[in-house]
Amino acid sequence: MVRLVHELAEYEKAPEQCELTTEQLRRALFGPSPALYGHVAELDGRVVGFALWFLNFSTWRGTHGIYLEDLYVEPRHRRHGLGRALLAELARECVERGYARLEWWVLNWNEQAIGFYESIGAIPMDEWTVFRLTDDALGRMAHG
């Protein structure tokens, strides 16, 4: 999966920003208090796609939801239903657990993904702007 995450970073034109290691992913998924979950798509015993997700919470709906951090299928295995199958599995997780939402972000330039998401009934939430604190700004905020 780590290899695929790095492939995803390259696909999203930001390979230098991807720092994930096997040990980090192992701890996040299988450590004493896991807060990250994952599903994989396999062909012939080889992982060719994945969905990594964690729980979020909607105060307005009063329930948890799933935030899909990353969905990726190797380019040569796309258009065979693997991405749809991964999303369907996450939708089943939501329904079975009584979660209200399955949501994710997509890069504005990724028209292929946007078209796919719209084809399954997902709606863009373009009235919201994403904010992020990282690195020095995060440190400054923490130490105030």
Using DSSP, state whether 126 is helix, strand or coil: coil
**Catalytic residues, which ones?**
117
Give me the domains of the chain, ranges plus CATH numbers. Answer: 1-142 (3.40.630.30)
pLDDT single digits (tens) 104-129: 999 999 999 999 999 999 999 999 99
pLDDT single digits (tens) 4-57: 999 999 999 999 999 999 999 999 999 999 999 999 999 999 999 999 999 999
Give the residue-averaged pLDDT of 126-138.
93
Residue 144 clears pLDDT 90, i.e. is over it: no
Distance CA 58, CA 62 (A): 6
Retrieve residue 25's tokens.
């992913």
Alpha helices in 12-66 (DSSP H): 22-30
Distance CA 73, CA 11 (A): 11
